[in-house]
A and B are shown apart, each in its own frame.
Chain A
Amino acid sequence: MSVWRFLARRLVASLFVLAGVSVLIFCLARVIPGDPARIALGPNAEREQVEAMRHELWLDRPLAEQYVRFVGGALRGDLGISLYNHRPVMETIRRTLPVTVELILAAAVLTALIGVPMGIVAARWRDGAIDNITRLISLLGAAAPSFVWAILLMLGFAYTLQIFPIAGRLSEAMHAPPSVTGLLLVDCVIAGQWAVLGDGLRHICLPALALSLSGIAQIARMTRANMVEVYDSAHIELARAFAFSEASMALKYALRPALIPTLTLFGLQIAALLGNAFLVEAVFGYPGIAQFGVQAILQKDLNGIVGCVLVIAAAFLAANVAVDLAVAFVDPRIRLGARRG
């Protein structure tokens, strides 16, 4: 019913955004200085070779024509050949994107599972120990970006204490199970390879934690602020006046209204995770899309840049549609289409 209409409307809107992003990044990649053919062939290449390559890449055609050809290919799942690793961009994305998605999902789960309970406890026992710890973490989270945390966590837990592996996705001795979902941890569960699952989990802990720290702090603060506000509302006073239990107020009657703004913030957090994942992956030598993306930018690999940006934009849009659906699920006023006066 109305949820499906809502979903359809959001998906159509997302397609328009994606089309806009594709025009923008396609033009931007070509406007920034530096000749991709010259960079790819090196300073010693002959002029004729460079010209031939420019022709081969359609760089000597008008921008509009190049774009139309690109869209034609993209619709068939062909994003062109990368100038950096000379393989189809789509293939590289298919290989590296799941790794990054898995890292971001892990960070998002950590953010939700640590941030929300922290906020609830901080609001319930205002100015208590947990409240002060959340304050400290949010200060630290705001003071240092995630790649700094990545380095600090790596130094502390991987280098000094040696509790976690330093880098990479899996240990040398481990072999990934056949890809079903592309998400290593899920594939391990499907294949029943528990040793590999354990190794994968150990490898993902530090990067996911580094990535999620600032989000945890923000979600905790937001949840706390909303919970405090809801605790002061008339309907919680009514709940008290009718002897509702403290637990049911904290986990149900106050939490649900308080979660609505938190969920919206969560959508924005996912955008931040996508950006920060590049840096965290670089620190931990994580085989995600970051390595390819960074090289594509440095090498002015046009197809690589456009492909990476489009995939990230699509992931961001999908995450936001998911968050909107979650908000609609939690808030009946949105789900049932209330006209608010």
Chain B
Amino acid sequence: MSDAMLSVEDVHLRVRRFEGVHHILKGVSFAVQAGERLAIVGESGCGKSLTARVLLGLLDRKRIDISGVARFNGTDLLGLAPAAWRGVRGRRIAMIFQDPSTALNPVFTIGDQLRTVIRRGQGVTRAEADGQALAMLEAVAIPDPARVLAAYPFQLSGGLAQRVLIAMALVNRPELIVADEPGTALDVTVQEQTLRLMHRLTAERGAAVILITHNLGVVRRFAARICVMYGGSIVEQGGVDDIFARPAHPYTQALLRAVPRLTGAGLPEGIDGSVPDYLSPPSGCRFRPRCPRAIDACAVDQPLLEVGPGHQVACGRAA
């Protein structure tokens, strides 16, 4: 694991609120190799977006306790001083935001925002940044880049604006890209195009990708490895084919049954219940109250155990 580009080990995240402490991330551990594509999958509220924000240091550490280690090429991101983040954010780790209609500043042009990203990342001159901005918009297949640079976000379609977000993430040639449900706010065909584009460009540049999504259909085509997240913990991880063919955790199995299919009989099945309450979560496996196969042994914490090559599961029934 030590040779991984990013290794996240036993990260806990607690939010102090008026009514008590919410223990949201509980022992999250995973690793990303250089150039690898990892998907983090789970339903809304499972902590996957928070995990992304931990990696970029975007959370207010005054209100949020984060413990554990997130080692990125030797440096622990969780111990990074605010000034040191400048060398990492947008330059070595970049994020693709989810909703292009809110993630771009409404009162500045695309050119202004993209140029600032480039100049903060590379410290180049304005003219140089202009040239790079134009070239990058061309690279994300925007037909009229000069017009888009002069435009305000509200003048662009959702698909075009999402491409701008991809351009921002790629332009400083980061080693790792965290894509937080890119295109979820767009319609399905545009989302598909966006993902393909992201896939192609990151592959060309050899950047590793953490794709955060709730859409298992997307994962199969765009990731090599999957982490399934539930209630702030990773409950199963492994290669895409292993997970789809031999899901070991009852939650992963339920998630796969919930995917709508065009072929075959029957409707997708839902999962009863809802994501756990983080203020007083169930002990041990957090899926226990919703799990059809739960036994008494599930009430204690479950470590990730190897069930196949590179395929691990945290489940009391797996042993």
Contacts and interface: CB of A to CB of B under 8 A. Distances in A.
A238 B97 contact: yes
B106 A241 contact: no
A234 B88 CA distance: 20
A243 B85 contact: yes
A239 B155 contact: no
* Interface secondary structure of A, over-half rule: helix
B133 interface: no
Interface string A121-141: 000000000000000000000
Contacts of B91: 243
A243 B86 contact: yes
Contacts of B106: 235, 257, 332-333
A241 B56 CA distance: 6
Contacts of B58: 237, 240-241
B2 to A, nearest CB: 27
A60 B102 CA distance: 65
B152 A234 contact: no
B69 to A, nearest CB: 21
A24 interface: no
B40 interface: no
A338 interface: yes
A243 B154 contact: no
A333 B105 CA distance: 12
B290 interface: no
Q: Which of B97, B106, B120, B155 has the most CB of A within 10 A?
A: B106
Contacts of A241: 56, 58, 89-90, 94-95, 97
B95 A256 contact: no
Contact of A256 (B90, B108, B154): B108
Interface string A227-254: 0000001110111111111001000110
B86 A235 contact: no
Nearest to A252: B108
A295 to B, nearest CB: 47
Interface in B73-92: 85-86, 88-91
B156 to A, nearest CB: 11
A165 to B, nearest CB: 43
Contacts of B117: 242
B89 A239 contact: no
Contacts of A243: 85-86, 88-91, 120-121
B170 to A, nearest CB: 12
Contacts of A332: 106-107, 109, 152, 154
A242 B170 CA distance: 11
A235 B97 CA distance: 9
A105 interface: no
B226 interface: no
A244 B90 CA distance: 9
Contacts of A238: 95, 97, 103-105, 165, 168
Interface in A203-227: none
Interface of A: 233-235, 237-245, 248, 252-253, 256-257, 260, 330-333, 336, 338, 340
28 contacts: A234-B97, A235-B106, A237-B58, A238-B95, A238-B103, A238-B104, A239-B105, A240-B56, A241-B89, A241-B94, A242-B94, A242-B117, A242-B168, A243-B86, A243-B88, A243-B89, A243-B90, A243-B91, A243-B120, A244-B116, A256-B105, A257-B105, A332-B152, A333-B152, A333-B154, A336-B152, A336-B155, A338-B154
Interface of B: 56, 58, 85-86, 88-91, 94-95, 97-99, 102-109, 116-117, 120-121, 152, 154-155, 165, 168
Given A235-B103, A242-B89, A256-B105, 13 more contacts: A234-B98, A235-B106, A237-B97, A238-B105, A241-B58, A241-B95, A242-B90, A242-B168, A243-B86, A243-B121, A244-B116, A260-B107, A338-B154
